[in-house]
Chain A
Amino acid sequence: MTDTAVTTQNPTPIVAMTGISITFPGVKALDGVDFRLFPGEVHALMGENGAGKSTLIKALTGVYTIDSGSIIVDGEERTFAGPAQAQAAGISTVYQEVNLCDNLSVAENIMLGHEVRTAGVVNWPRTRNAAREHLRTMNLDIDPKSSLSSHSLAVQQLVAISRAMVVDAQVLILDEPTSSLDADEVARLFDVVRALRDRGVAILFVSHFLDQVYEISDRMTVLRNGTLVGEYLTAELDRVELVQKMIGRALAVLEELEEAPKRSVAQRGDTQPYVQAIGLGRKGTIEPFDLDVYAGEVVGLAGLLGSGRTELARLLYGADHADSGEIRVEGVPTKMRTPRTALARGIVYSSESRKTEGIVGDLTVRENIVLGLQADRGWLRRISKRKSDEVVNRYIEALGIRPANPEAIAGNLSGGNQQKVLLARWLATAPKLLLLDEPTRGIDVGAKAEIQKLVADLAAQGMAVVFISAELEEVLRLSHRIAVLRDRRKVAEITNSDDVTTDDVVHLIASGGQS
């Protein structure tokens, strides 16, 4: 299963983690993972959502306690009781969201906790000078006295790195440092990263942008479902192989769903799409794209995490505002101002974040299911108990929601059942277009198969469905057409048929549609 680790010219790793396992209640987050970091190298940690990247980083920095395995830093076995201890041992972390203090000055942010003291009192001129020194090593020419909030996100990110390097870190962990930067800013950040690497710092880099990973990293480790897939030299692993290793081929945990004959609703000539996006885009979120969705058709969105799948769906639903292009519903140009506009036209969106954007946790299953209907009717016309009973019982039965108790608090249900409650909320509004964002993520195999079957059935009954999933097998199994996204851009669209394999889609993702 595990590929042989590559031999290296530099034989002494600064960090060597072996056989790391971490278990959370009910989940094995990491299972016997090995990981090494070498001085003077940029090491990319790769894997899809839930692969265990953050868990591994948190194991290294002492946020989580490991159940088994060993962590050797600089030749010594260590167990860190918290990030402060890890930092003292030379391991610094810069997190995805810049966690600095907006309202403090640049110098205060960099030197916080490391101020230069004279006779026990902070010596601000010297502290600021020290900060200026650190900024200079980052090629950052800004006034240490200026307020942090007066600088762009990119500069703030560099300040965060300066702060991490104050302790003379031997290991620098960069967790998604580029997710909110534009191309120029990324280039600037990478200059700094290269300079640090040349000074002998070991850098652990996490990003879901493949291009960036290939540009900056020397070595990569791939994780999947909490296990190690392998460690590779970046130069020796091409993109297609990488994507395959990240997504995995042996994912078919599901009994093959009795495949609805893959058919493309190809009568484009004589029917018009239910929803048509023309040059629809939003700056910094997703580049303008075209997409048609016909009634009775499942359009799959394939792409890695952060490729723009969710963003596309949110534009169609009016959850975010498009700043270019237009949406036509049954040929009529429609401005999607709010979700209500979309709802009024039969478009519904089930978010990938069930807990934060889907379920209203403290309300009951009944209240959650009728929420969509009720919102549509307005507060004055309350849905009668009888009607609510009818709807709720119908969907509890049809979708097999457990417990089958309408008065159960929705927040206490399992993930799969919460997902079904959400589906019930939307199906109860009799939608024309169903936007499903990761409806099967994090739910058990049985519920997953049921939801897939339901999607196939709904499309067969004439509903238009946009289906988003990180699992290509699932997208392929259900979709009539597949739109491929990469780096927040729609790069290709293919019609599904028996000949299309996950490999083909992987190639499209890896090549960015330019083959």
Chain B
Amino acid sequence: MSSVMSSAGAITRHRLFWPIVALAVLLLACVLKSNTFLNITVLDGHLYGGPIDIVRRSSVLLLVALGMTLVIATRGIDLSVGAVMAIAGAVALSQIAASDNPESLAVVLSAIGSAVLVCLMIGVFNGFLVAVVGIQPIIATLVIMTAGRGIAMLITGGQITTVTSGPYHTIATGYWLGLPVAALIAGFFFLVMALVTRRTALGVLIESVGINPVASRLAGVRARTIIWTVYVLCAFFACVAGFIRSSDIMAADANNAGLFIELDAILAVVIGGTSLAGGKFSLVGTLVGVLVITTLTFSVTILGIPANAVSLFKALVVILVCLLQSPVVRHKLRARRRAVAPAPVEVPA
């Protein structure tokens, strides 16, 4: 009996317990509202249905949050991800639009290549400001966060560039082996990073730098290079996210692409149990965090919550999850449970 209790206790104490509960509750609410929500149907060899939609819509946030997790693990933060998404879309679509043959795969690939190069340069710039110049990450990345959309505007000439290009459109809307290409791309990079951080020493070195940069440097860790690397990786993943977003609407919208996504990404990382103070990180945790946030956004429409109450609803759920994860609150709750269970507290009249 007590062992059952204690193992149940261990499960509830796991840092992903409440986020997963939140996810389950949200999904359940959606099912109750629309009982076909969880059904997956096959149409033209493609899978359709609520869960597939959530996975597809998660891809952009997952990519951004992936890079953000690594940056946060080094005690940093990257506010420029939304602007990088805008730049990625602007560079890629402008180049495709300027070409003679937007439908050619070669044109699309070269456009993607140029955009990746530009984004990597932005990552190098961010990393340089943080790791070499020593500017606080929040300030350093604020530069691109504000200037980046301006750069994107210059690239698109102040217009919302729209193009028609089959190959590029496939990124967001295509299917491969019955699954959405966007989700496959995000899943691929997630797996690669999960493997790279845990099968090489990169993960532990990132954590070491995040926990104690001074000790790490004295231990011979290239702290500066590692910090630099995570900003470059973060910009790269934001770039890929930018392709998916712009391919979805086939337009480069310098003002709105990836707007406020840095906040959702930070939130996903925190819900996933990685501390903003740096150190230990969990990519799986981030994945759960991303699913919670996407499902939340998704469920809002299904549950029929009025549009102007959406932000409030999101905020309530997030606060609840964060509160349940907070050590202070958990400690208080546990203490209360203990106090209540054995001897009922007398309430003075």
Binding site for B on A (CB under 8 A): 317, 319, 338-340, 343, 349, 351, 356-363, 367, 371-372, 374-383, 425
Contacts and interface: CB of A to CB of B under 8 A. Distances in A.
A104 to B, nearest CB: 21
B222 interface: yes
B215 A360 contact: yes
A371 B211 contact: no
Contacts of A377: 201
B218 A351 contact: yes
A371 B279 contact: no
29 contacts: A319-B217, A338-B217, A339-B219, A340-B222, A356-B212, A356-B214, A356-B215, A357-B214, A357-B215, A357-B218, A358-B215, A359-B212, A360-B211, A360-B212, A360-B215, A363-B204, A363-B211, A367-B204, A371-B204, A372-B220, A375-B216, A375-B221, A376-B220, A378-B201, A378-B222, A379-B200, A379-B201, A379-B202, A380-B200
Contacts of B214: 356-357
Contact of A383 (B201, B222, B280): B201
Q: Is the interface of B mostly helix, strand, loop or mixed?
A: helix
Interface of B: 199-202, 204-205, 207-208, 211-212, 214-222, 226, 279-280
A374 B201 contact: yes
Nearest to B197: A379
A7 B212 CA distance: 51
B218 A349 contact: yes
Nearest to B279: A362
A85 to B, nearest CB: 30
A282 B321 CA distance: 52
Nearest to B198: A382
A358 B218 contact: yes
Nearest to A351: B218
Which 8 residue pairs spanning A and B have beta carbons closest together? A375-B220, A382-B201, A375-B221, A379-B202, A343-B220, A360-B212, A379-B201, A362-B211
Contacts of A360: 207-208, 211-212, 215-216, 219
A381 B200 CA distance: 6
A114 B35 CA distance: 69
A367 B202 contact: no
A374 B201 CA distance: 7
Contacts of A378: 201, 222
Given A339-B217, A360-B219, A375-B205, 12 more contacts: A319-B217, A338-B217, A340-B220, A340-B222, A356-B215, A357-B214, A360-B215, A361-B212, A363-B204, A374-B205, A381-B201, A382-B200
B199 A382 contact: yes
A429 to B, nearest CB: 8
A411 B235 CA distance: 33
A317 B218 CA distance: 9
A375 B222 contact: yes
Nearest to B217: A339
B215 A362 contact: no
A338 B217 CA distance: 9
Given A339-B220, A372-B220, A379 B215 contact: no
Nearest to B226: A379
A92 to B, nearest CB: 33
B208 A367 contact: yes
Nearest to A358: B215
Contacts of A343: 220
A358 B212 CA distance: 9
Nearest to A371: B219
Nearest to A342: B220
Contacts of A358: 215, 218
Contacts of A374: 201, 204-205
A425 B212 CA distance: 16
B20 to A, nearest CB: 24
Contacts of B219: 339, 360, 371-372, 375, 425
B235 to A, nearest CB: 19
Contacts of B204: 363, 367, 371, 374
A177 to B, nearest CB: 26
Max chain B C-beta neighbours (<10 A), residue from A339, A362, A367, A378: A362
A339 to B, nearest CB: 5
Nearest to A377: B201
A374 B205 CA distance: 8
A383 B216 CA distance: 17
A375 B216 CA distance: 9
A382 B220 CA distance: 15
Nearest to A354: B215
A59 B200 CA distance: 51
A383 B220 CA distance: 15
Contact of B207 (A339, A362, A375, A381): A362
Max chain A C-beta neighbours (<10 A), residue from B212, B214, B226: B212
Given A357-B214, A362-B279, A382-B201, A371 B207 contact: no
Contacts of A340: 220, 222
A317 B201 CA distance: 24
A291 B205 CA distance: 34
B218 A371 contact: no
A213 B267 CA distance: 55
Nearest to B277: A362
B221 A371 contact: yes
A339 B212 contact: no
Nearest to A340: B220
Max chain A C-beta neighbours (<10 A), residue from B201, B202, B211, B226: B201
B211 A361 contact: yes
Contact of B208 (A317, A363, A383): A363
A359 B226 contact: no
Contacts of B199: 382
Nearest to B208: A360
A383 to B, nearest CB: 7
Contacts of B218: 317, 319, 339, 349, 351, 357-358
Contacts of B212: 356, 359-361
A362 B280 contact: yes
Max chain A C-beta neighbours (<10 A), residue from B216, B218, B221: B218
A427 B187 CA distance: 41
B231 to A, nearest CB: 16
A379 B211 contact: no
A413 to B, nearest CB: 15
A292 B219 CA distance: 24
Contacts of B221: 371, 375
A339 B217 CA distance: 7
Contacts of B200: 379-382
Contacts of B280: 362
A199 B219 CA distance: 52
B173 to A, nearest CB: 37
Nearest to A349: B218
A363 B279 CA distance: 9
A382 B197 CA distance: 10
Nearest to B209: A360
A359 B211 CA distance: 10
A349 to B, nearest CB: 7
